[in-house]
Structure 1
Amino acid sequence: MVTFLRKKGISLSLKEYVITALSYMALGLFSSLIIGLIIKTIGEQLVTIDMSTIGSYMIDMGSFAMDAKIMGGAIGVAIAYGLKAPPLVLFSALFAGAFGAELGGPAGSYVATLFATEFGKLVYQTTRIDIIITPFVTIFIGFVTGSLIGKPIDSFMTGFGHIINWATEQQPFIMGIIVAVLMGWALTAPISSVAIALMLGLDGLAAGAATIGCSAQMIGFAVSSYRDNGIGGLLAQGLGTSMLQVANIIKNPLIILPPTIAGAVLAPFATIVFQLTNNPSGAGMGTSGLVGQMMTFESMGFSWHILWLIIGLHIIAPAIISLIFSEWFIKKGWIKPGDMKIMYQ
């Protein structure tokens, strides 16, 4: 049985279904919901400065990309691609993802696509009418899974997210720290903080704390590792992802402490002092493409006050705190030159 499954490209691996699938799910979200929200936000700002024609087009464009079925289809194709699905399964996964998203949101799309893709791979090239059987099975399994499992899972995830949102409102100090640290780690780890934030529906202060934690990881590593990686590493981590440090963290786990401390220190300032908020689309982004900052404006509105808060809490303060602690760790010998060197190949 194991040999047969491997021949079909089915690994039954937790790594594949969690790490790989969530990572590719994030790409699907980037390609639909998140870019759509950015386009829509830009359009709304253009309308306010008397560029209503272009702004209206961008609002319509962004709204279309944010549609649940479009988002779900993008998630479906992305996950199926990540799981190395053959062409017929890959294309049919679009429908499975769309069904799942329509019935159960991002979590429903994720679950429906996983089942649909693996069952599709199972029947692929087993009959002479493969061009009919494979897409039929993939779509059918996706629809059934989305109907039976997607909605309950989405309800659980969003319910859990509501608890986190509520708890952060009630206990902004401790919950702000917890959310910032855990979401920051999720961003740096080889899983998707974006997918987690969207499936949980992190919003308000909790999303604001998550943005602080994620930004601290990215900016913290970018600045702390400048000696090892130069300007290229600064930009790759500061505007790209701190996930580039995963291999180095495995070698020396202490290197993750400076940006983590920065996130933990700054989270209460965001939740208690300045009450920075965000939305689910920006909560897990950090400074990646500055989406977390754009979504903060989307959540709180644009003003010079908010702009300076974002620059201070998302960029300058994490850089300073992380640099102070990383340099101290270097003096103590806990971090050595080259420990944060990024190997791109």
Structure 2
Amino acid sequence: MKAFLERKGVHISFQAYAITALSYMALGLFASLIIGVIIDTIGNEIPNMPQFLVEVGSYAMEPFVYGGAIAVAVAYGLNAPPLVMFSALFAGAFAADSVGAGPAGSFIAALLAIEFGKLVSKETKIDIIVTPLVTIMVGYFVAVVAGVPIAEFLNGFGQVINWATELRPFTMGIIVAVLMGLALTAPISSVAIAIMLDLNGLAAGAATIGCSAQMVGFAVSSFRENKISGLVSQGIGTSMLQVANIMKNPYILIPPTVAGAVLAPIATVWIQLENNAYGAGMGTSGLVGPIMTLKTMGFTMETFMIIVILLVLAPAIISLLLSEFLRKKGYIKAGDMKLDA
């Protein structure tokens, strides 16, 4: 059995499902739902923008669109054969649209459909019929049986986090910011987690702080090693680029993590920073976090200044000061945060 699974490319592991598959799910979400939200926001909130942007954005946000995108992205990430990849689109779209299970249901239905599809792929002489048939049917039954309960559980868990943040904004703000920030930097999808848990309000604001602190913090702390290219690739790209360096020297993770923990209670208790699930796990990546904050709290100069200070300037200053301190103490050495060209 082990040899058969290996031959079919089915690797039952935490790495494959919780890291690789979830990370590719985030790409599917970004290529559909999240970019759709951005386009729709631009069309609705910026004066004199062409109205076709609203139509484009709204369509990209449709459940059957982002559900299908999630499925195809996960199939690609798990190296699914072509017939499995194309057929998996049904599982993701059906779970999100017809069943109403949202991104979480799409992910689970697509994941199982893909793995079962891989098992039968090219095992018969009528592969062109058997493989898509198995993939689609497995996706259908998983979506119907498990999609809604899974989505309801994750949404309920997210509501508990939101409730706890409202009740204890100081403590829960720090916890959410640190955990979501670490999830963003680790090879795990923070945006997928935020959307599946339906984070909103203060909890989403805390998550935005933690994620932004990681990105801006690493971008500024590693400027001497990576210059402008590193500033851009980490500041509005992803701090995940530092994972290999973190494995070599975990001390480099301290400055941005502390920055998020320090700023989170300021944001949740005094500033009342809020966001939605789409921006909560993105930080400054593609400027999605700031854009969604503006959409949630309103396009005002006050909100804009809060974003600049809490999501950019403050984490940059705190991270730089801490990283310089650790450099002087010898915990961080020259080249520890150097990115591969």
Normalised to the residue count of structure 2, the TM-score between the two structures is: 0.98
What are the residue-to-residue correspondences of 1:242-281 with 2, within 5 Å? 242-281=239-278
Q: Which residue of 1 aligns with 2:292?
A: 295
Q: Which residue of 1 aligns with 2:198?
A: 201
Matched, 1:153 2:173: no
Matched, 1:339 2:322: no
2:74 is aligned, of 69, 75, 79, to 79
Q: Equivalents in 2 of 1:12, 1:327: separation in Å?
A: 42
Q: Which residue of 2 aligns with 1:35?
A: 35
Q: Deviations over 1:118-152 (max 9, x none)?
A: 11011111122111111111010001011111111
How far 1:302 sits from its partner (Å)? 0.3
SS of the aligned residue for 1:223 comes to helix
The residue type paired with residue 77 of structure 1 is V
SS of the aligned residue for 2:299 comes to coil
Q: Which residue of 2 aligns with 1:5?
A: 5
Q: Equivalents in 2 of 1:140, 1:14: separation in Å?
A: 25
Q: Equivalents in 2 of 1:158, 1:127: separation in Å?
A: 41
Q: How many residues align?
A: 339
Q: Which residue of 2 aligns with 1:218?
A: 215
Q: Deviations over 1:253-290 (max 9, x none)?
A: 11101001100010011101111100000000000011
Q: Which residue of 1 aligns with 2:282?
A: 285
Q: Equivalents in 1 of 2:290, 2:338: separation in Å?
A: 27
Q: Equivalents in 2 of 1:252, 1:139: separation in Å?
A: 45
Q: Deviations over 1:234-268 (max 9, x none)?
A: 11100100001101111111110100110001001
Q: Deviations over 1:147-166 (max 9, x none)?
A: 11111111111100000001
How far 1:198 sits from its partner (Å)? 0.4
What are the residue-to-residue correspondences of 1:27-106 with 2, within 5 Å? 27-46=27-46, 49-51=47-49, 54=50, 56-102=51-97, 103=99, 104-106=101-103
Q: Equivalents in 1 of 2:240, 2:328: separation in Å?
A: 25
Q: Deviations over 1:14-48 (max 9, x none)?
A: 211110001100010001000000000001024xx
Q: Equivalents in 2 of 1:266, 1:7: separation in Å?
A: 49
Normalised to the residue count of structure 1, the TM-score between the two structures is: 0.97
Q: Equivalents in 2 of 1:245, 1:44: separation in Å?
A: 36
Matched, 1:240 2:228: no
SS of the aligned residue for 1:266 comes to helix
Q: Which residue of 2 aligns with 1:180?
A: 177
Q: Equivalents in 2 of 1:213, 1:118: separation in Å?
A: 34
Q: Equivalents in 1 of 2:236, 2:14: separation in Å?
A: 29
How far 1:50 sits from its partner (Å)? 4.4
Q: Which residue of 1 aligns with 2:121?
A: 124
How far 1:13 sits from its partner (Å)? 2.0
Q: Which residue of 1 aligns with 2:25?
A: 25
Q: Deviations over 1:44-64 (max 9, x none)?
A: 024xx345xx1x211111111
Q: Equivalents in 1 of 2:209, 2:181: separation in Å?
A: 8
* Runs of 5+ unmatched residues, structure 2: none
2:161 is aligned, of 164, 168, 171, to 164
Q: Equivalents in 2 of 1:197, 1:261: separation in Å?
A: 21
Where do 4+ consecutive residues of structure 1 move more than 4 Å?
none
How far 1:212 sits from its partner (Å)? 0.4
Q: Equivalents in 2 of 1:340, 1:313: separation in Å?
A: 24
How far 1:312 sits from its partner (Å)? 0.3
Q: Equivalents in 2 of 1:200, 1:330: separation in Å?
A: 38
Q: Equivalents in 2 of 1:280, 1:260: separation in Å?
A: 21
Q: Equivalents in 1 of 2:14, 2:163: separation in Å?
A: 31
The residue type paired with residue 169 of structure 1 is E
SS of the aligned residue for 2:236 comes to helix
1:321 is aligned, of 318, 321, 327, to 318
Q: Equivalents in 2 of 1:303, 1:252: separation in Å?
A: 41
How far 1:343 sits from its partner (Å)? 1.6
Q: Which residue of 1 aligns with 2:14?
A: 14
SS of the aligned residue for 1:240 comes to coil
